[in-house]
Structure 1
Amino acid sequence: MAADSALGTALRSAAWIAGGTAAAGAAALGYASLIERNLFGVRTETVPVLPPGSAPLRVLHLSDIHFVPNQNIKTRWLQSLAELEPDLVVNTGDNLSHRDAVPPLLDALKPLLRFPGVYVPGSNDYYGPKLKSPFTYFTGPSKLSSEPPALPFGELFGAFEDAGWAGLTNRRDSMALGGVRLDFSGVDDPHLDRDVYPGFPEPAAEGTPALRIGVAHAPYQRVLNYFTDGGAELILAGHTHGGQVCVPFYGALVSNCDLPTWRAKGVSMWEHNGRKVPMNVSAGIGTSRFAPVRFACRPEAVLLTLTPRA
């Protein structure tokens, strides 16, 4: 009888533990899908990259919006970002997650389109997501599905261009801002192997303050090396979602590219051939509409204050 009693107690304890674990898992999933993915915030960084004597510049870095119609909380938050009064907006792609998202996304971005801006595309500007197991995200860089649904990227990018934002799809370009010439080099999405490094614009005239900025959606190492060897002084990218589902006090488990996971979010120094370049990787604003969860990785825009080098 004693043995039967002990066995019964053990079974009840195991059932209690299993039930508690399931409840905790359900609570975490509910938090990740209903709460954290809508806890939008602005990460602020100061990066000393401008020529000596320059006035500071405020750069708003947007990435991975993955917009779906009727995302009202996201819409209001995006509209509110104009209150930051950035000098420049840099959009590093993956704006869409639905074929009907362009008009409501443009409405959400309308207050920001009055500021100077540049953009590069991501795969989820060209193609929509398809339903698949979310666990494939943890098996390595994601692959484009066969016959992916096309998205109206031409309509979106046409509106960006009409507002004055410069497209950097395998292009280089320059603009004068705050007394500094900003020289950009941008690539099409490296995650789709569409990147063709265009180099940077020819050097500014002697005595002209200038800053070279490399812009890409996915921070694959080959592209970071192109920019670094080409003389970039700042690199901006997205794509990683910061890992999207992270381990508290540890960080990202995946970067969805060949970037080390500890670089999946934030400012770090990229080094190649003896040069070091500050790089900001955004954790992004949205998620695929088929995997609408974030855990220990809140959605973000990034406000970079560029200051003079020492």
Structure 2
Amino acid sequence: MLWLWVLLGVGTAIFVWAALIERNLFTVKYDSVAILPKGSRPIRVLHISDIHLAPWQKRKQSWISKLAELKIDLVIDTGDNLGHRDAIKPTLECLAPLIKIPGVFVNGSNDYYEPTVKNPFAYLSKPSSPGQQHRIDTETFTSGLEGGWLNLNNRSGELTVKGTRLGFIGLDDPHDQLADYGSIKEPKNVDVLIGVAHAPYLKVIEELGASDIIFAGHTHGGQVCLPGGRAIITNCDLPAKNARGLSGWETEKGYVFLNVCAGLGTSIFAPVRLFCRPEVRVLTLLPKN
């Protein structure tokens, strides 16, 4: 009988940690990759994703509002910023200091639809599906981001940052089949080509394979992981070992780096993180040797 009480105590402790503590332990992860032309100045990129903000999450809002203090040169937002139908105003407010910095963004499904209750165990067998959902005022939210950032939803664009001409090619959310792979023209005569998408499906990596690097989110890093941060699922067909961080891929279009951000939030209906702290990533782009 004692072992039942021990198991109950351990289970309760794990749940309390995952639901009340770890999901609020926001952190910044740092890495670097050499993809710039020789002689270029380094570019510090803030990769933010999967905020899933709800209006009552004041601690998260305060933390995000201070990220501009990291002395960032470029912001890349890979979507799922919203986590509640009433989150548009507070999300734009906490992102306001970052929107003053050059940046780009794409949407995730949660930027179009309210979150719904789903069976968490279904994720173990296959990626989630949209189902019946209520629309959010995406146009108002997108307009706010466009006040400072390039909208890359099935679009391309260019920015010059610290003397380096950056080209971007972006996809609307592949997870909800919104990506239009054939209609986007790649920028020409740029120093670096950057792909941006919410969900890092293998088809996305292949289609954006001509890029020097792809930025994506969606996976939540696995969200509930094994000890050591080993992901079990990615909610797409990306291998679990690549659920977060930097990796390299051989595609038919060439070799490309992939940077996956585990994100800052969770669905309000599954507010837990275990062995997977909420994060943003600062990736320094360096000149090639």
Residue range with higher mean Cα deviation, 137-146 or 183-192:
137-146
Deviation at 1:199, TM superposition (A): 4.4
Deviations 1:114-166 (A, max 9, x none): 101100010000011112332222221001122x021121111101112x211
Deviation at 1:200, TM superposition (A): 4.8
Deviation at 1:203, TM superposition (A): 2.2
Count, aligned residues: 288
Distance 1:264 1:153 in 2: 27
Pick one of 194, 197, 215 that aligns with 1:213: 194
Q: List runs of 5+ in structure 2 lacking aligned partners.
A: none
Q: In structure 2, what is the equivalent of residue 54 of structure 1?
A: 40
Give the secondary-structure state (helix, strand or coil) at the position aligned to 1:111: helix
Structure 1 residue 186 corresponds to structure 2 residue 170: yes
Contact 1:174-1:201 within 8 A present in 2 as well: no
Contact 2:156-2:187 within 8 A present in 1 as well: no
Pick one of 170, 173, 179 that aligns with 1:195: 179
Q: In structure 2, what is the equivalent of residue 173 of structure 1?
A: 157
Contact 1:94-1:125 within 8 A present in 2 as well: yes
Distance 2:233 2:257 in 1: 21
Q: In structure 1, what is the equivalent of residue 221 of structure 2?
A: 242
Give the secondary-structure state (helix, strand or coil) at the position aligned to 2:122: helix
Going from structure 1 to structure 2, the CA distance change for 1:61 and 1:175 (only over 3 Å counts) comes to same
Structure 1 residue 140 corresponds to structure 2 residue 126: yes
Structure 1 residue 41 corresponds to structure 2 residue 20: no
Deviations 1:88-115 (A, max 9, x none): 1100000111110011111111111110
Going from structure 1 to structure 2, the CA distance change for 1:202 and 1:119 (only over 3 Å counts) comes to closer
Contact 1:60-1:301 within 8 A present in 2 as well: yes
RMSD over aligned Cα, in angstroms? 1.2
Distance 2:28 2:184 in 1: 31
TM-score with structure 1 length normalisation? 0.90
Structure 1 residue 279 corresponds to structure 2 residue 220: no
Distance 1:109 1:125 in 2: 15
Deviation at 1:17, TM superposition (A): 1.1
Contact 1:64-1:94 within 8 A present in 2 as well: yes
Q: List runs of 5+ in structure 1 lacking aligned partners.
A: 1-14
Q: In structure 2, what is the equivalent of residue 11 of structure 1?
A: none
TM-score with structure 2 length normalisation? 0.97
Distance 1:191 1:202 in 2: 25
Distance 1:71 1:94 in 2: 15
User: One-letter code of the match for 1:143?
Assistant: S
Q: Which structure features the higher share of helix residues? A: 1
Give the secondary-structure state (helix, strand or coil) at the position aligned to 1:129: coil
Deviations 1:278-306 (A, max 9, x none): 11000011000000000000000000110
Give the secondary-structure state (helix, strand or coil) at the position aligned to 1:26: helix
Distance 1:35 1:141 in 2: 27
Distance 1:16 1:270 in 2: 50
